[in-house]
Chains A and B, each alone.
Chain A
Amino acid sequence: MSGLFQALLDGFAQGSIYALLALGYVIIFKATHVISFAQPALMVCGGLFSYHSMSEWGLGFWPALIVGMALGALLGVVVERVALRPMLGKPVFTLAIITIGVDIALRVLANRYMGANPRPIPFPNGSKQHEIFGLVITQQRVALIAVTAVVVIVLALFFKYSKEGLAMRATALSQEVSLAQGIRVGAIFALAWAIAGALAAIAGTFVASTGAGLEQNTWIIALKALPAIIIGGLDSIPGAVIGGLAVGIIEQLAAVYQPSVAPWLGNNFALVAPYALMFIVLLIKPYGLYGTKEVERV
């Protein structure tokens, strides 16, 4: 039984990373109605910014995280400005494909920086283990869960009470009406990409502080947040968090139980379990758990 709870706890920690990434996807989607396939590159680049400021500029973990977030946000704004702003009003699919192009180009640069060596970010006292009710959790994961919780709360307050948050919600509802009300919609797009870039940088930094660190193929992790947003519903912020956690937990449960319960699914099925979960959820609810159903008009 403790095996199950341990798996749930580990999944929750891993799911926090997916939740951070999923929030980025959803915020961009709500503001601009585009799915950004550039999130993997933003995650890797954000992680590398933190890595660079730690290893080259000698910052500690937390200052490096802040620097990584700031530079990640800046990168998000640059991507929006250069690649997406000229395409305003074009079909959303075109914009989505452009973000794929951005992703490929940015990742080449990131891989060029990394070379063949993994880039780990040491978390202070990261391997120190805590025991709660017989479950083991590392210091790094406690910090990850705490940071995610803080981010979610801050974002919720931001959207609910700040002027900019209100402007973002208005833009998500209707871009034209917001323009008429004096909201600078372009600035809102930039802000959405900045938030998404910063969130991706947090995720990248924490990914780099587990296991081997950032590698050439670490970017695949960010794609697993896609099932998360589909499960939660593309335009739902609580859905992104819940979907992210669900994906992490399913992945961990599959890693622990699938080899003994369903060995015919092959080795490492855990890696694709989120996609399988996505298929099942979509067959039952085509707009995810919390997504808004599209209203059709001829």
Chain B
Amino acid sequence: MSSLLSNRNISSKPARKSTGVRGRPLLRTSYAQEITLANTAAKRRGVIAIVVLGFLIPWLVTDDLLSILTLGVISAVGAIGLNLVTGYAGQVSLGHAFFIGIGAYTAAVIGGSPTSQAIGYGLPMWIWLPAAGIVAAAFGLVVGPIAVRLRGLYLAIVTLGLVFIGEHFFREARSITGGQGVGRRGAKLELFGIDFASSEPIAGLSREQAQFFLALVFLIIFAVIGRNIARSAVGRAFAAVRDRDVAAAVIGVDLTKYKIMAFALSSFFAGVTGAMYYAVVGVFEPSAFGLLLSIKFIAMVLIGGVATISGSIMGALFIALLPRMSMEIAHLLPFLTNFITVFQLEAILYGVLIIVFLIFEPRGIYGIWLRIRNYWKGWPFSY
């Protein structure tokens, strides 16, 4: 069946020796070939090129832009997590900010230094990073059963309530979070004896460059994990639950198990993201984990592309660059600042971009990429 499906694409580029049988790259003879990570030669080369480009970026852009990109790359992991639960499994979650907060504070307590207000144990990164994920996943396990009982918009509102209750908890637990208006520092960003937060150059790299490398490796690891979840039996079960949960149950997908699993996995991704993000940022406050953060992640998923890993990454980078873009827009069109400030422009862009993408490009940036790809695949034919 899979080989039949792929045979439809024989009009594309002529034979390249690598994947396919008898030099036909798109001819698949087994299901395993169909779902392998890079199922075409072009895809494999493209991914390698992008990763190489990623490692070259620190020398191509200035340090201020690089630190923005670092945060974007880290948020991409959180966006992948949200896409797993919302895009793949179809369980709408507005509560992502809560799980990110849980991860950030777990890491800060385990890996941060104590302050006059807040506790901290200063343990190394290889402990606090997994711990942040595990604790967040545990909270996901607690929320999961509620998701099993609720569907659609009920679930959206309940997860929204989670954000408010979480924010309250973060504000009040001063021994963990430092409290409102004070905050605390994130975990210490130190791995293999290298302090990524020090202002001294590390092996000839500036701090921004070193942090970007760390973030990039972090993203590659979790993107591969995310992709593997999505293409395995678990991912197919998620998609079945999303498309029609009753039908999924009928064909033998355990709804309870997979809904809870989706929440737990997504929370794990959120937890490690929160830990890394605020370790790079430095001082952070409980008010960071409000509804706006959840909406930012929803925007990453929707603008990037629902139920795609690469889309999540593109969306996260896009949203991370949005403040910078609105600054540039304000520079280019100075008359705008007569009406609104740069921050207001940024906020309006969030809102308007979400609307515009949903109306005109529902598949997000990934959809735009698909159209470009298909155009060149068929070139010079327009169909």
Residues on B with C-beta less than 8 A from A286 are 149-150, 154
A4 to chain B, nearest CB (A): 24
Q: Nearest CB to that of A86 among chain B residues?
A: B359
Residues on B with C-beta less than 8 A from A96 are 153, 156
Contact A101 B156 (CB under 8 A): no
Checking A90, A108, A265 against B340 with a beta-carbon cut-off of 8 angstroms, the contacting residue is A108
CA distance A132 to B160 in the complex (A): 39
Contact B351 A234 (CB under 8 A): no
B105 to chain A, nearest CB (A): 15
Judge if A112 is at the interface, Cβ distance under 8 Å.
Answer: yes
Q: Mark A287-298, 1 if CB is under 8 A from B, else 0.
A: 100000010111
Checking A108, A227, A266 against B168 with a beta-carbon cut-off of 8 angstroms, the contacting residue is A266
Contact B168 A272 (CB under 8 A): yes
Judge if B373 is at the interface, Cβ distance under 8 Å.
Answer: no
Judge if B161 is at the interface, Cβ distance under 8 Å.
Answer: yes
CA distance A14 to B144 in the complex (A): 33
B161 to chain A, nearest CB (A): 4
Judge if B129 is at the interface, Cβ distance under 8 Å.
Answer: no
Q: How large is the interface on B (under 10, 10 to 19, 20 to 34, 35 or more residues)?
A: 35 or more
Contact A93 B152 (CB under 8 A): yes
Judge if B65 is at the interface, Cβ distance under 8 Å.
Answer: no
| Given contact pairs A35-B157, A269-B168, A282-B158, A108 touches B351 in the complex (Cβ within 8 A) | yes
CA distance A108 to B146 in the complex (A): 34
CA distance A286 to B146 in the complex (A): 9
CA distance A87 to B146 in the complex (A): 30
A297 to chain B, nearest CB (A): 8
Judge if B223 is at the interface, Cβ distance under 8 Å.
Answer: no
Checking A35, A230, A266, A279 against B172 with a beta-carbon cut-off of 8 angstroms, the contacting residue is A266
Checking B165, B173, B339, B354 against A98 with a beta-carbon cut-off of 8 angstroms, the contacting residue is B354
Q: Nearest CB to that of B295 among chain A residues?
A: A100
| Given contact pairs A278-B161, A283-B146, A268 touches B295 in the complex (Cβ within 8 A) | no
Judge if B302 is at the interface, Cβ distance under 8 Å.
Answer: yes
B255 to chain A, nearest CB (A): 12
CA distance A202 to B216 in the complex (A): 51
Contact B344 A112 (CB under 8 A): yes
| Given contact pairs A105-B348, A112-B344, A283-B146, A227 touches B355 in the complex (Cβ within 8 A) | no
Interface size on A, residues (CB 8 A): 48
Checking A94, A267, A275, A282 against B164 with a beta-carbon cut-off of 8 angstroms, the contacting residue is A275
CA distance A268 to B247 in the complex (A): 45
Contact A35 B156 (CB under 8 A): yes
Checking B149, B152, B351 against A104 with a beta-carbon cut-off of 8 angstroms, the contacting residue is B351
Contact A276 B351 (CB under 8 A): no
Which residues 344-383 of B have a CB within 8 angstroms of A? Answer: 344, 347-348, 350-355, 358-359, 362
Judge if A92 is at the interface, Cβ distance under 8 Å.
Answer: yes
Q: Mark A117-159, 1 if CB is under 8 A from B, else 0.
A: 0000000000000000000000000000000000000000000
CA distance A30 to B161 in the complex (A): 22
| Given contact pairs A104-B295, A108-B344, A92 touches B152 in the complex (Cβ within 8 A) | yes
B312 to chain A, nearest CB (A): 16
CA distance A17 to B167 in the complex (A): 24
B21 to chain A, nearest CB (A): 39
CA distance A111 to B362 in the complex (A): 30
Q: Mark B256-294, 1 if CB is under 8 A from A, else 0.
A: 000000000000000000000000000000000001000
Residues on A with C-beta less than 8 A from B358 are 87, 90, 94, 97-98, 101
Q: Which residues of B contact A (CB under 8 A)?
A: 92, 146, 149-154, 156-158, 160-162, 164-165, 167-169, 171-173, 244, 246-247, 250, 291, 295, 298, 302, 339-340, 344, 347-348, 350-355, 358-359, 362
> Could you jot down 22 A-B contacts, CB within 8 Å?
A35-B157, A90-B358, A93-B92, A93-B152, A93-B153, A96-B153, A97-B302, A98-B354, A100-B298, A101-B352, A101-B354, A104-B295, A104-B347, A108-B340, A112-B340, A223-B160, A234-B154, A266-B169, A271-B164, A272-B167, A279-B146, A282-B150
The 5 closest A-B pairs by CB, nearest first: A266-B172, A104-B351, A105-B351, A275-B161, A101-B354
Extra contacts, 15 of them, besides A83-B355, A104-B347 (Cβ < 8 A), are A97-B358, A98-B354, A98-B358, A100-B295, A100-B298, A101-B354, A102-B351, A105-B352, A112-B340, A226-B160, A230-B158, A266-B169, A279-B158, A286-B150, A296-B246
Q: Which residues of A contact B (CB under 8 A)?
A: 35, 83, 86-87, 90, 92-94, 96-98, 100-109, 111-112, 223, 226-227, 229-230, 234, 265-269, 271-272, 275-276, 278-279, 282-283, 286-287, 294, 296-298
